[in-house]
Amino acid sequence: MNVKLKEIDSYTRQVTVSVPWEDLESAFEAHIRRFSKKVRMPGFRKGKVPQKVVIQNFGPELEAEFAQDSIEIHYAEALQEHKIVPVNRAKIEDLQFSEGSSLNFKATVEVEPAIKLPKYNRKMKVKKNVYVPDNTDVDAYIEEVRRQFAEVRTIEEGSSDGHLLLVDMQEMDSSGVPIIGKKVEDRYIKVGDGVFGGTNLSRLSGLKVGDTTFVEAETTKEGGLTKYELTIKNVQEEVFPEMNEEFIKKIDSEATDETSFRENVMERIQERLDRDAEGQLNEAIIDYFLQSTDLEPPPSMVDHYIEHSIEQAKSNNGETFDEDKYRNEARPSVVRSIKWILIRKALIKGEQLWIPDEEVDEHIDKILESTEDEKGQIRRYYKKSSNKEKLRDDLLDRSLFQKLKEYAKISEVTISTSDLRKQHELSTEGA
């Protein structure tokens, strides 16, 4: 077998294969024998038609079947010979074969492109955010905890900002006629929250059981607004627990009083912000490699990922899912993801990183030690090889970023949460 390899571009390879007849003859004769056993012809018993007669009557079909079977065999051998790992099905062209002649064909296939990484061990510069929380963050955290433990009380007086309304919600057309099939029953809404604030706040104030009103919400449809009629079925308010010693002990056994409780809350907030900062630093490192690496992912890989995500989205969204819109909108993020997958693979190989089975098992043991409940469920979960490999991959990710941070020149940027709140307020006002 003679194989010639041609590099079309960074991710496309073309192999030209020629197999001489002497290497095919015995296999072709065996193919005829197998074929003859299936042939039915007048004057002959099944399987007893002479090979010469079979060839005379089914020659083109015989040759086509044999050529197809032979392509698969010799294409695989050609890939192995040149150590080609395809990422898609090959496109077969220029197929030539007949009895007594050589088999010739071309196969075009996409592969993972070779990657030239930047000199990241000397040149990588990234910024890391250092977040500084304040008492406003503590107040917000405590307010959310109190809300989680709040009791809901039905009230007789009219509704006001912050109250909960149990409503039936009927969508109306532009002329004010209810749209059949567009009614939602027993939905809870909060007065003043999101779309139920702003211009709708006055329409939702002073309401009692049995009252009706309407709200308007922005829509992507032409026309700008969608109108809903609301029928009030209940009016409720949240009664928050008092910040006393009993409540503090209930949610934080380590706190001795409100002061120590607030200190513990501040620590938790700082830990969360530190985790966020580390995640953002990881993203900054990813961005560095994406911007510094000349890489074009194979189109077939992009298409495969998109089609796979479309199937998942269809199962979640049903008939309302717009495939064409999703395909166009998803492509940039998919291209970015595949670029990083390929770069990550090259980095792991270059740094010779690996997580042995023993380390994976040790991590599973730590997970089991950190929980009191559901130990059996956790064990069953990691008995599945796919879940265990996902954990190994996560640990490999952690090891990779740890190594890359050792190489990186990291400059810290201090950001107060009060500044973040101001920025959010400005952006909200601008919107």
Higher pLDDT, 47 or 267: 267
Please provide residue 8's backbone torsions phi and psi, each rounded to the nearest 5 degrees.
-75, -50
User: In the predicted model, is pLDDT for residue 430 greater than 60?
Assistant: no
What's the predicted TM-score (pTM) here? Answer: 0.77
- Give dist(CA 427, CA 423) in Å, integer: 6
Joined together, the tokens standing for residue 65 give 């079947």
CA 370 vs. chain centroid, Å, equals 28
All structural domains of the chain? 2-110 (3.30.70.1050), 151-239 (3.10.50.30), 256-430 (1.10.3120.10)
Averaged pLDDT for residues 299-315: 87
Listed range (37-46, 188-197, 201-210, 358-367) with the worst mean pLDDT: 37-46
Mean pLDDT throughout 230-237?
A: 95
Tell me what pLDDT residue 313 has. 78
Strands 178-190, 164-172: pairing kind = antiparallel
Mean pLDDT (the chain) is 90
Task: Report the alpha-carbon distance of residue 235 to residue 79 in Å, rounded.
Answer: 71
Residue 210 pLDDT > 80, yes or no?
Answer: yes
CA atoms within 13 A on the CB side of 247: 14
- List all residues 6 or more positions away from 199 whose beta carbon is below 8 Å from its beta carbon: 216
Residue 324 — very low, low, confident or very high, per pLDDT cuts 50/70/90?
A: confident
Q: What per-residue confidence (pLDDT) applies to 323?
A: 83
Q: What phi, psi does 340 have (nearest 5°)? A: -70, -35
**How confident is the model over 181-198, as a mean pLDDT?**
91
